[in-house]
Structure 1
Amino acid sequence: MKKVFCILLSLFSLVAYAQAPSKLINKAEQMAKELEPKVIEWRRHFHQYPELSNREVKTSAKVAEHLKSLGIAVTTGVAKTGVVGILKGSKPGPVIALRADMDALPVTERNSLAFASKEKTIFNGQETGVMHACGHDAHVAILMGVAEVLAKNKNELRGTVKFIFQPAEEGPPAGEEGGADLMVKEGVLENPKVDVIFGLHVRSISPLGKIEYRPLGLMAASDWFTIKVYGKQAHGAAPWMGVDPIVVSAQIINGLQTIVSRQMELTKEAAVVTVGRINAGIRENIIPEYAEMAGTIRTLDDEMQKQVHEKIKLTATKIAESAGARAEVIIERKTPVTFNDAGVTEKVEASIKRAVGEQNAVRVAAQTGAEDFAFYQKKVPGFFFFVGACPPEIDLATAPSHHTPDFMMDERSLLTGLKTMLNVTLDYMYLQQKK
């Protein structure tokens, strides 16, 4: 009987740490609902006054001011314009990092919103608008709301929460470092050492109210490649007197497409090779000496990533060689796979279902977009999820995608993201209590 009692007691202890107390969760969700108008107001402010990567000066100042008003210890100037806040609970527990990205894009907004951006800038030598065309304004507002709810429940928190407001997720300007990679280099996951990290992304092409996620690879690794083709210049009327790098480039482009379609094990994971730019020549009747193409590679598996890189080099150099030309291939690794730790995913899945309802917690296929949240996940276990934000009046099939002038999100998704992040964070605190 004593043995049975001990077993029951052990099971009770496991259950007790499986989720945060329902009273605390209910209180946090009620506070989130009451905070919703303020979160919407923050989002609209950031949307109206967007700032590009590594230039988020006013954005970070507003974030830092808010965190300080909550009694959270704040460090600014991390990875150029990043803000880090540390909130220590009253009881021992894990160190949980929560991340939001702050930067906007060089896109000219095209809608009739009262708070639409009117900002202008010069980007890569061209005048352009500046727009939160990927929802980072929503991410900042949501995390500010999470910080306020958690700070006001400090006495019930187990462990420490580290709020990471990150610049330059879209990539730093040419010649600069930035983003999650630089934040990691500058020690954002240390002092105190982070045990787990959570992040989210609103998604304009997913149904409102849904939370989408998957264990393991959620978003692809993103690499960039440049292929330089060296031929021999000649008169356009006498191509046999030269080596045409434009024709060779066309053959290379066609060859690259067979890497994915014929040489990769696509039943394992998806892969993409896209040539996005090609430049060559100066005049219609001159065969140039040189051509250059550049593009992106997307993979969801480390071994496949390595294989694609090798195949691109082999394909380009051998096709060029067969035509008497020479090809030089440069591949830059940009962003790793956004990889959700399987154990962490399993632990927080119940939290997601409670936050939005089981029918709204959806496991999805991997996406070929990329996210530099992956740099944190390379160092500590992490979990990243999507928040559906497509307005119901917009057909999902024709909804404007991210990074476009017509990007649109439903602000009701802000509360969905806020509630989900609170549930995930509070549950993980109690599940992972340190003795």
Structure 2
Amino acid sequence: MKKLLLLALLSSSSTLMAQDALKKRVIAESDKIESKVIQWRRDFHQHPELGNQEVRTAKIVADHLRSLGIEVQEKVAFTGVVGILKGGKPGPVVALRADMDALPVTERVDVPFKSTVKAIYNEQETGVMHACGHDSHVAILMGVAEILAGMKKDLPGTVKFIFQPAEEGVQDKSVPFGADGMVKAGVLENPKVDVIFGLHINSPTPAGMISYKPGPTMAAVDEMEIVVKGKQTHGAYPWDGVDPVVTASQIVNGLQTIVSRNVKLIEAPAVVTVGAIHGGIRHNIIPESVKMIGTIRTLTREQRIFVHKRIEGIVKNIAEANQCEAEVKIIPGYPVTMNHEELTRKMVPTFIETVGKDMVQEVPVVMGAEDFSYYQEKVPGLFFFLGGRDPKTPIEKAAPHHTPDFYLDESGFKNGVRTFCNLVLNYAELHGR
């Protein structure tokens, strides 16, 4: 019995020493590769591509993975790339995800690698820019792939590197795209993924800091289209028509009561925003119809269903009260980004171990949306944020995501590389086979 116990202790000690050696290699290799990660990011920034058009980006990624001896799958869900690295030791299958697409935004930041790319979007010419930091996500994951491939024989389990297109969406939504498309293409199978991790750069957070939240982390997003139909008439004789403009105005106000009076805000916030109203062409004509479009953000499935029903009820009842007709169309978007609570609890020590306790923070929910949620519907997942603000820059001067002035401090990228690597190693240690 004593002999068996001694053998078990020796085996455990040997495993811990091997794990410690791998983590030391991660630190050393991430120092070496930092400049390469930054150069990759700058190259992608200078050559941005919109959703499902990431041909150049995908080729660079695929060529890099192949050069590391990683098995590569291309053209997954249009332009996606998947790399499969089989470690030399038994262990779980861990997936890491980066999104590759840019946005129809014209860059104003004066940097040597500024984007001057143009494209046609919604029938208008526009600049194209990595205004949400996906260029950094790709570069970081390429660095992770290089480090982990370099320790392949000592690596426990299998790592899937998922380089995903179209997180920001596409104009043609008739077929699955983005994470939904990748899941339906089978990226979580063959081999079956046990867990998935994803990160997103965050411009207001100090560079290199890790932020996270257990449970609901980012909102579900849906679009709404409302058409109010009245009866056109001369603006001087409103009694001869039915005014859809006045009705639409009442609907906008009515929709605000969903959040202020119907949603239990003590449980979870919600947002209902009308972003545009189109109707009429002349100052003295009451138009026949008015169209409104907007966004809906919710944080639970039950809340999502409830808010949709309230929108339909308010719109149709106000329209009927004003002798108008109304059509409501709700276009489903991404589900809630839901961090697996037990997984999050187990992996937070990895954040602290990697960047230090003072550089890790738990944050409130974010009402923005992320299609990483599609992966989390299938397997346990953890989505976290990596800071990208120069600490010398006041937070109020940090340009928001999706704006022409979006800017990243690149000094924190190394923490992203190290965190991904350590999540793989620590998860394998906790869930070895």
TM-score strictly above 0.5:
yes
The 1:11–1:362 alpha-carbon spacing in structure 2 relative to 1, beyond 3 Å, is farther
The 1:265–1:427 alpha-carbon spacing in structure 2 relative to 1, beyond 3 Å, is same
Corresponding position of 1:348: 347
CA contact (8 A) 1:281 1:291 kept: yes
Corresponding position of 1:25: 23
Match of 2:61 among 60, 63, 84: 63
Corresponding position of 1:85: 83
Give the C-alpha shift of residue 413 in structure 1.
Answer: 1.6
Following superposition of structure 1 onto structure 2, how do residues 24-423 of structure 1 map, counting pairs within 5 Å? 24-177=22-175, 178-423=177-422
The 1:9–1:240 alpha-carbon spacing in structure 2 relative to 1, beyond 3 Å, is farther
The 1:420–1:249 alpha-carbon spacing in structure 2 relative to 1, beyond 3 Å, is same
The 1:304–1:11 alpha-carbon spacing in structure 2 relative to 1, beyond 3 Å, is farther
CA contact (8 A) 2:68 2:149 kept: yes
Moved more, 298-307 or 34-43: 298-307
In the TM superposition, what whole-angstrom CA distance separates every residue of 1:403-427 from its partner, at most 9, and x where no partner exists? Answer: 0000011001211111111111111
CA contact (8 A) 1:20 1:426 kept: no
Moved more, 210-219 or 281-290: 281-290
Matched residue of 2:93: which SS? strand
The 1:175–1:336 alpha-carbon spacing in structure 2 relative to 1, beyond 3 Å, is closer
Counterpart of 1:46, as a letter, is F
CA contact (8 A) 1:19 1:431 kept: no
User: How far apart, CA to CA, are the structure 2 residues paired with 1:158 and 1:265?
Assistant: 45
Give the C-alpha shift of residue 282 in structure 1.
Answer: 2.0
User: How far apart, CA to CA, are the structure 1 residues paired with 2:115 and 2:264?
Assistant: 44
CA contact (8 A) 1:169 1:179 kept: yes
User: How far apart, CA to CA, are the structure 2 residues paired with 1:23 and 1:313?
Assistant: 59
Moved more, 185-194 or 4-13: 4-13
User: How far apart, CA to CA, are the structure 1 residues paired with 2:208 and 2:343?
Assistant: 22
User: How far apart, CA to CA, are the structure 2 residues paired with 1:331 and 1:66?
Assistant: 41
The 1:62–1:90 alpha-carbon spacing in structure 2 relative to 1, beyond 3 Å, is same
Moved more, 15-24 or 259-268: 15-24
Counterpart of 1:107, as a letter, is V
**Runs of 5+ consecutive residues of structure 2 not aligned to the other structure:** none
Segments ≥4 residues shifted beyond 2 Å? 3-20, 173-177
**Runs of 5+ consecutive residues of structure 1 not aligned to the other structure:** none
User: How far apart, CA to CA, are the structure 2 residues paired with 1:106 and 1:12?
Assistant: 57
Give the C-alpha shift of residue 355 in structure 1.
Answer: 0.5
Corresponding position of 1:433: 432
Matched residue of 2:410: which SS? coil
CA contact (8 A) 1:17 1:433 kept: no
User: How far apart, CA to CA, are the structure 2 residues paired with 1:8 and 1:306?
Assistant: 57
Q: TM-score, normalised by structure 1?
A: 0.96
In the TM superposition, what whole-angstrom CA distance separates every residue of 1:366-406 from its partner, at most 9, and x where no partner exists? Answer: 10010000000011100000001111232102310000000
RMSD value, Cα: 2.0
CA contact (8 A) 1:20 1:427 kept: no
CA contact (8 A) 1:244 1:287 kept: yes
In the TM superposition, what whole-angstrom CA distance separates every residue of 1:53-112 from its partner, at most 9, and x where no partner exists? Answer: 000000000000000000000010000000000000111111111000000001000021
The 1:135–1:12 alpha-carbon spacing in structure 2 relative to 1, beyond 3 Å, is farther
The 1:122–1:6 alpha-carbon spacing in structure 2 relative to 1, beyond 3 Å, is same
User: How far apart, CA to CA, are the structure 2 residues paired with 1:58 and 1:245?
Assistant: 48
Counterpart of 1:384, as a letter, is F
User: How far apart, CA to CA, are the structure 2 residues paired with 1:76 and 1:158?
Assistant: 25
Moved more, 171-180 or 44-53: 171-180
The 1:322–1:207 alpha-carbon spacing in structure 2 relative to 1, beyond 3 Å, is same
Give the C-alpha shift of residue 173 in structure 1.
Answer: 2.2
Counterpart of 1:198, as a letter, is F
Counterpart of 1:135, as a letter, is G
The 1:169–1:199 alpha-carbon spacing in structure 2 relative to 1, beyond 3 Å, is same
The 1:20–1:103 alpha-carbon spacing in structure 2 relative to 1, beyond 3 Å, is farther
User: How far apart, CA to CA, are the structure 2 residues paired with 1:101 and 1:214?
Assistant: 20
Matched residue of 1:182: which SS? helix
User: How far apart, CA to CA, are the structure 2 residues paired with 1:221 and 1:9?
Assistant: 51
CA contact (8 A) 1:17 1:431 kept: no
Q: How many residues are matched? A: 432
CA contact (8 A) 2:207 2:410 kept: no
Give the C-alpha shift of residue 14 in structure 1.
Answer: 8.6
Matched residue of 2:171: which SS? coil
| Identical amino acids, percent of aligned pairs | 55
In the TM superposition, what whole-angstrom CA distance separates every residue of 1:136-184 from its partner, at most 9, and x where no partner exists? Answer: 0000000000000000000111111000000000002225531000111
The 1:286–1:347 alpha-carbon spacing in structure 2 relative to 1, beyond 3 Å, is same
User: How far apart, CA to CA, are the structure 2 residues paired with 1:18 and 1:164?
Assistant: 29
